[in-house]
Structures are given as structure tokens and as C-alpha cells.
A and B are shown apart, each in its own frame.
Chain A
Amino acid sequence: MNERYEEIERYLAGDMPEAERLHFAARLAEDEALSDELLALKMARESIHRQSANEPEVEELRAVMRNARKGLQKQRPIVKRLWFRIASGIAAAIILVLVYIGWPINGSLYEQYAEHPHLEMTARGSQDNVTIQEMEEAFGEENYAASAQLLETYATTNGWNSELRLFAGISQLELNNLTSAQAQFEILYAGETANKWAGGWYLALTYLRKAEAGDKAAYQQSEEVLREIPSGSDYHEQAGKLLEEIRGMTEE
């Protein structure tokens, strides 16, 4: 089976010598099943590669559209705005009363579950101490733009490891750079390092954040990852709780 797909991949990537390519093309003309497989994978390869490459720009476009919508809402007629202010005032008063009497108020699920571990790294050499301290301080002070930058620079010099990847991903997640965050967590989740399930948990939180930003299909993706987190993992219990909350919310 391997050979068949390796051949297809080399053909699609243009990595076949001319004689082999012609031979493969002749086989395609005679073998409908092979031809169908090639067609399916060719179209998927093009579409997925293009969509992945465009994803950061699409997210940026969505953010610009969200702002444009907010701008439109601000421009609504003054009578409506007045009613909105009155209604907002009443709602705020109700919330204050509920908070005062201790009523549980649900906001963003992401905000409820995004409690991050402390960044405490081990220096590899004495010259690393200052950078590591800066990274730890930036992350601890929730200055995620700085921690993302410092982690990236450190990893470029010293090489990536799963710990750097986890905290770089969390920094990107907090900065709402969801594509970059997702890429880091996918690598952790697909790998076999000590941070595999931390990667899974944060991948689920990234999908959750996407869902709360309007991509409703991402709720299901979040659930799928949460279900995979095994009972021996540190993240199993909170994964179970979050799974129930998402289910309860999406079934409403």
C-alpha cells in the first residue's frame, strides 16, 4: 500500500523522473481505481494546502468584518441607541444584583477554563538565565506579546522543545492568533512528548475560542479532541467538565 501512495505523492509533487512519469501516466489511463485515487488526492491536496495557506489572512478578514459590524451597530438611529442604553442599564443592574447575591454567571467558556500553568524553565547554559527569566516574567505578567516574541527568539537559537512550544502556543492563543496557536498545539498533540495531552487540552481550547468567535463547527472539533484526553492525563477531569458544558450549550 505504501508504494502506491508514495508514487501518487511523487507524481503530484512533480518529483518523478520523465520516464517513470510517462509509465505512471500510462497506468492511470488503464487503471480507473488508481485514476480515481489520484484525482481525489490531487483535489484534496490543492484545496487543503490553499486553505491552510490562506487561513491567517481569512482570520484577519473575519476580524476586520467583526469591527465593521460593530461600527454599523454604533451608527444605528438615536432612538434605538437610547432604548439600547436603557435596556443595557437594566441588564447591568440585574447582573450587579445577581453578583451580589452570589448567582453563578456564565460568560465565555474559554475565559472560564483558560487557567494557564506557570512558565518555569530549566536553563541549558548560564548565558540562558537572563532570557529565561525575561520569558518567565513576561508570561507571568500576562504580557503575551513579549512572551511570544521571547519564546520564538529563544527557540530559533536553541531549537524547539515541547515546553517552549506549549508556552509559545498559549501566548499566541491569548493574543488571539489562533492559527499560530493551533499549529503549535497540533504538533504537541500529534507527537509523543510529555506535553502531548497539554497540547490536546489547549488545541480543544483553541477550537473553543474559534467557536466563540463565530465558527460554530469548531465546537464539534473541540469536543472531538476533549474526548481523546485519557483518564491518566492531568487534563482528563477538566476535559470532562468542559465537554459537558459544551454539550449542554450546543444542545440548547
Chain B
Amino acid sequence: MKAHQDQAYIEGIIARDAGVIRDIYVQNFESVAQHVLRNSGDRTDAEDIFQEAMVAIFQRAKKEELLLTCKFSTYLHAICRNLWLNELKKRQTRGVTLAGYTLYKEGDDSRKMAEETILQEERDRFFREKFNDLGESCKAILRNSWAGMGMKEVAELLGISYSYARKKKSECMARLSALIRQAAEFSKLKEGL
């Protein structure tokens, strides 16, 4: 499949190119802000949503090749609308209404791409939250060990014995596994495979 001519925006985000990112802001931020303002949000919400959408695109593009098959602005707006809808759902208990909220404006390509990007963002957030529920020593052991560091080096780094580091790592994995499997989202993740 041939990439859309706006693929350069994706490459610019991956390269953190200040000129491309400024163009993206100039061309898209105001319309995203207007959408958020019309749907119970303020400008700070719009800035947060815009930034999270850009980070979600970056994370997805770093994970796998992200081939743009629609206009970049359509793709970006679809992600922003979706992220804002999720935020509104969280705020529903505070009296925000979702009546008349339109998720997608345009064709199927942007919808599919946006949904895939949002799905990865939600999965990453889920694992990040569960990982952050671990203690600091567990996080340091697992993060370093999963980055490819040997357990002897990890033990040395943390100033603990090798045998304790190995025992602790198993305990940390058990805790993380339990936190993930006990969450309702885990069943959905299994279904999605």
C-alpha cells in the first residue's frame, strides 16, 4: 500500500522535528481546541488531549511501521476526538453529558488507524499503571532486567546480594502478574488477541 503524501508528518514526529511539529500545531490545534470547547472542556483540556494524541502517534510509530493512508489532520483529529470521549466518560459522574457527541467525521481509513493507535495507547497506559503500583525496588529490578541487564549487574547496581535480587525479581513478577490478571481489562486484552 502506498503511503499518503502526509507521511512526512509521521516522520517529523518520530524525529521530534521542531518545524514539522510547529506546522502540526498551527494547522490543527485551534480546530481540536474548538471541538473540546464545544464539548464541555477548556483550553487546558485541549492542550493535554493534543499532546497525548501526538505522544500516542509517536509511540505507535516507534513500535511498528505506521503507514498513513489518509490525511494526517483527519487521523490526528480522530485520535483527539476519541481521547476526549474517553476523558468525558471518566467525567460523566460529574454531570458531563455525552449527548450529540460525534466521534468520527470522515472516512473509514482514519477511523481504523485512530482506533488502532488509541488501543495501543490504552494498553500502554494499563501496563504502566499496574507497573507503577509496584514498589520502587521492584520497578528498578524489572526495568533494568527487562532492558537486558544481567541479574548480577542489577544486584550490584542496587547494592543487594545476587540471591536476594533473583528472589525479589520472582516476587515482583508474581505481584505484577496478579495485578494484571485481577484487572477487568485483562479479559478484554485476551479477547483482543
Say whether chain B's binding surface is mostly helix, strand, loop, or mixed.
Answer: helix
Does A65 lie at the interface of the complex (its beta carbon under 8 Å from any beta carbon of B)? yes
In the complex with contacts A2-B170, A43-B189, A48-B143, A65-B25 CB distance below 8 A: yes
Interface segment out of the listed A80-88, A114-122, A190-198: A190-198
Shortest distance between the CB of A34 and any CB in chain B (Å): 10
- Chain A contact residues (Cβ within 8 angstroms of B): what range? 35 or more
> How many residues of B are counted as interface, with CB atoms below 8 angstroms from the partner's CB atoms?
55
In the complex the two chains form, is B59's CB within 8 Å of A54's CB?
A: yes
**The one of A61, A68, A69, A187 that contacts B158, using a Cβ cutoff of 8 Å:** A187
Q: Is A233 an interface residue (CB 8 A)?
A: no
B146 touches A2 (CB 8 A): no
Given A69-B25, A193-B159: A51 and B58 interface contact (C-beta under 8 Å): no
Within 8 A of B (CB), among A1-59: 1-2, 4-6, 8-9, 36-37, 39-41, 43-45, 47-54, 57-58
Q: Which residues of A approach B to under 8 Å, CB–CB? A: 1-2, 4-6, 8-9, 36-37, 39-41, 43-45, 47-54, 57-58, 60-62, 64-65, 67-69, 71-72, 75, 162, 186-187, 189-193, 200, 203, 214, 221, 225
Cβ–Cβ < 8 Å partners of B136 in chain A: 186, 189-190, 200, 203, 225
**Which residues does chain B contribute within 8 Å of A71, judged by CB atoms?**
22, 25
Q: How far is the CB of A245 from chain B (nearest CB, A)?
A: 21
Residues of A with C-beta under 8 A to B171? 1
| Interface pair B167/A68, CB less than 8 Å apart | no
Q: Do the beta carbons of B180 and A68 come within 8 Å of each other?
A: no
A203 and chain B: residue at smallest CB distance: B136
The chain A residue with its CB closest to the CB of B57 is A61
Docked complex: B31-50 residues within 8 A CB-CB of A = 47-48, 50
Known: A37-B181, A40-B181. A187 touches B140 (CB 8 A): yes
B169 touches A5 (CB 8 A): yes
- Residues of chain A within 8 A (CB-CB) of B193 are 39
Q: Which residues of A contact B47 (CB under 8 A)?
A: 69
Whether a CB of chain A sits under 8 angstroms from the CB of B128 is: yes
Interface flag for B173 (CB, 8 Å): yes
Asked if residues A68 and B22 are in contact (CB atoms below 8 Å), the reply is: yes
CB-defined contacts of A9 to chain B, threshold 8 Å: 169, 173
Bound-state Cα–Cα, A227 to B158, Å: 21
A142 to B142, CA, bound (A): 34
Q: A187-B140, A187-B158 are in contact. Are A64 and B21 (CB under 8 A)?
A: yes
Contact A68 B25 (CB under 8 A): yes
- When A and B form their complex, which 3 residue pairs have the shortest distance between CB atoms, in order from nearest? A190-B137, A191-B159, A5-B170
CA distance A7 to B24 in the complex (A): 47
With A52-B147, A65-B51 known as contacts, the answer to whether A186 contacts B140 (CB < 8 A) is yes
How far, in angstroms, from A70 to B193 measured CA to CA in the complex?
Answer: 42
Chain B nearest CB from A42 CB (Å) reads 10
CA distance A5 to B175 in the complex (A): 11
Say yes or no for B16: interface residue by CB 8 A criterion: yes
Interface pair B62/A50, CB less than 8 Å apart: yes
B13 to chain A, nearest CB (A): 7
| Nearest-Cβ distance from residue B39 to partner chain A, whole angstroms | 20
User: Are B25 and A53 in contact, with the CB atoms below 8 A?
Assistant: no
